[in-house]
């Protein structure tokens, strides 16, 4: 499909509304529009709020990163940016597993193992979480995936390999922009039988610290009431567009 044609793709029915995004169908059965909202939630939806311009900033940050990953040979759902808050993506049958990659101790890992936030890990840690809000997205491993038939074990194997490749690429991408990639979450899905990276990569789904000052430039500013949330997301946008 030509780029000219893509700019004319229009929203049809609402397919799904999540906490931070809405998906709309289009006239193309295989393509959907991903709309980024300003709504912010944390702690499994217990804390709710709005971050001014978050939808726009996350749409543009995620689009830049997915464009970079596509160019680097990672298969993703990203097709094109349509406007400030929307991007065209390939429709996925989402695999109900979140893959978290960690380079530095923070968040739930710090709590679980009683370690200080900020400790750099010798090797990245990869974790799997079962996507189920009613259970609070519990951490699982490959054995749970197999025994409870949560997903195809081969897909999980590929997701873990891809997560490591993506981590190597994004570590350098952010490093060049003065940002420490502490940790991040990925989601994958199937499109015409092919495993693609989906969802978003933004300060909502990553921990991003200024390399020099270690200042937090991500959703922890909202989770922990640190202030300057919009300014921090804007700082990330400015740096990723460099």
Residues that bind ligand UDP (CB under 6 A): 100, 106-109, 137, 183-185, 205-207, 219
Residues 6+ apart with CB under 8 A from 62: 36, 78, 87, 200, 201, 202
- Choose between 91 and 185: whose C-beta lies nearer to ligand UDP: 185
Return the HEC string of 57-111.
Answer: HHHHHHHHHHHHHHHCCCCECEEEEEECCEEEEECCEEEEEEEEEEEECCHHHHH
User: Considering the complex, what minimum distance in angstroms separates the CB of residue 193 from ligand UDP?
Assistant: 27
- Choose between 18 and 30: whose C-beta lies nearer to ligand UDP: 18
User: Considering the complex, what minimum distance in angstroms separates the CB of residue 60 from ligand UDP?
Assistant: 18
Residues 6+ apart with CB under 8 A from 195: 75, 155, 158, 159, 162, 188, 189
User: Considering the complex, what minimum distance in angstroms separates the CB of residue 139 from ligand UDP?
Assistant: 8
DSSP 199: S
User: Considering the complex, what minimum distance in angstroms separates the CB of residue 222 from ligand UDP?
Assistant: 10
- Choose between 31 and 61: whose C-beta lies nearer to ligand UDP: 61
- Choose between 24 and 184: whose C-beta lies nearer to ligand UDP: 184
Name residue, tokens 């160019």.
71
- Choose between 56 and 185: whose C-beta lies nearer to ligand UDP: 185
User: Considering the complex, what minimum distance in angstroms separates the CB of residue 177 from ligand UDP?
Assistant: 17
Q: Whose CB is nearest to ligand UDP?
A: 107
What gap in Å lies between CA 145 and CA 157, rounded to an integer? 11
């Amino acid at each position: 499909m030509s780029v000219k044609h893509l700019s004319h793709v229009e929203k049809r029915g609402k397919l799904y509304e999540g906490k931070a995004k809405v998906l709309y169908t289009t006239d193309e059965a295989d393509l959907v529009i991903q709309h980024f909202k300003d709504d912010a939630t944390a702690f499994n939806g217990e804390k709710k709020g709005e971050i001014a311009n978050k939808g726009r900033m996350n749409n543009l940050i995620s689009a830049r990163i997915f464009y970079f990953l596509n160019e680097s040979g990672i298969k993703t759902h990203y097709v094109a940016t349509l406007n400030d808050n929307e991007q065209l993506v390939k429709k996925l049958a989402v695999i109900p597993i979140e893959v978290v990659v960690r380079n530095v101790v923070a968040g739930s890992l710090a709590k679980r193992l009683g370690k200080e936030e900020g400790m750099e890990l010798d090797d990245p840690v990869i974790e799997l979480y079962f996507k189920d809000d009613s259970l609070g997205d519990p951490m699982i491993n490959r054995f749970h995936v197999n025994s409870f038939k949560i997903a195809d074990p081969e897909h999980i194997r590929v997701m873990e390999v891809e997560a490591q490749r993506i981590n190597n690429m994004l570590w350098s991408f952010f490093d060049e922009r003065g940002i420490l990639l502490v940790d991040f979450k990925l989601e994958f899905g199937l499109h015409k039988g092919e495993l693609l990276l989906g969802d978003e990569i933004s300060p909502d789904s990553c921990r991003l610290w200024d390399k020099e000052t270690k200042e937090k430039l991500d959703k922890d500013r909202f989770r922990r009431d640190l202030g300057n949330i919009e300014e921090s997301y804007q700082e990330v946008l400015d740096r990723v567009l460099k």
